[in-house]
Amino acid sequence: MKSIMDELLSWFFQVREEYYFRKHRNPYRVWIAEVVLQQTRIQAALEPLQRFFHIFPDVESLSNATEQEVLQAFKGLGYYSRARNLKKGAEYICQHFQGQLPQTSQELLKIPSIGPYTAAAIASICFQEVIPVVDGNIKRILARIHRWNECQDTMNFAKKCTKFLLPLYKKSQHTPGDMNEAWMELGQKICLLRPKCSLCPISSFCQGFQHNDVEKYPVKKQKKEKIHVDWHVFIIRNKANILLQKWGNFYFLQNQTSLPSTLIFEDKTISSFQNLPIPSISEKKYSNPIKHAITHHNIHIYSHIIDNLSIPDKILQQENCFWTPQQNAPNHLVASALLKIFAKQK
């Protein structure tokens, strides 16, 4: 009888996708791709990821870029804190590893942006280290195979996954990179939130399938109620220019260039400015907001166009604001929500 790994790999070699970042096992590309794909669906990421690799083909080019250039290139891949961490990681690799990613998971863990999952992926796929990757897909698969009746978001759960996988990897004749990618592919194509059990190559090994209760696993974590935010964006124009603001430690988009804004929560109101001569927001309900959702937040975005507003240079400096030609604004704005707002202005 074939083992679970033999069945899984037999299926994987028939259906595997030859994504461009998998070719030649380039450690730099595997690193960037694995960081991105942890929180972005692969089909949505393919085109912007290819653009990112075109702009930054190697560690050195990423290290030498400005933060703004990296954020700009990261458009479409979301979670811009990852872009900053990738740049920090590239700088660290150039400073400590002569621009080459190290070959062991323990050394890789020293690099900003690289956690246990990414370190295991790079080390196994590129350097054949016998180490399992454990991400959300693999946790979901193993929770169903074993009918583990506990939340997957714990260190203990991750350890159980590794304890099950590691002996399989050590006994198998297959390469660890192929084994890890096979589990990933199964999670992306078959063992989904709504699983396709009839197509699963390892259903005969799955206790959840045998008991006909696959969808009960993994045990669902109680969801946090999302915070509602009304985000009022001020599009301030003066002739052919538009006013932008470099945000510091603001609630959203920290350290990014944005538009002056006010956020209204149920229990508080915060603004990205104090001294700009902007009319106060009335209590009336505005119509046709742009709806936008990010982690733990439901956002309604309202835009307010203000023309020919005179602002003294002293206040511009205080508020970290600057004028830029309107056609150049998209080069400064990286958040998709702000680009939608800017595109809708009349």
Q: Which residues are catalytic?
A: 34
Residue 323: count of CB within 10 angstroms of its CB = 16
Provide the pairing of β-strand 269-271 with 290-294.
Answer: unpaired
Distance between CA atoms of 202 and 184, rounded to whole angstroms?
A: 14
CA 108: distance to chain centroid?
19
211: nearest Cα among 142, 149, 148, 147:
147
Q: Which two tokens stand for residue 95?
A: 């400073």
Where b means 16+ CB within 10 Å and e means fewer, 42-55 reads eeebbebbeebbee
236: nearest Cα among 301, 302, 306:
306
Q: Which two tokens stand for residue 271?
A: 């603004």
87: nearest Cα among 71, 103, 108:
71
Distance between CA atoms of 278 and 340, rounded to whole angstroms?
A: 22
DSSP-derived secondary structure for 105-140: HHHHTTSTT--HHHHHHHHHHHH--------HHHHH
Q: Is residue 275 a contact partner of residue 256, using CB atoms and an 8 Å limit?
A: no
Q: What are phi and psi of 158, to 5 degrees?
A: -60, -40
Distance between CA atoms of 229 and 208, rounded to whole angstroms?
A: 40
CA 300: distance to chain centroid?
22
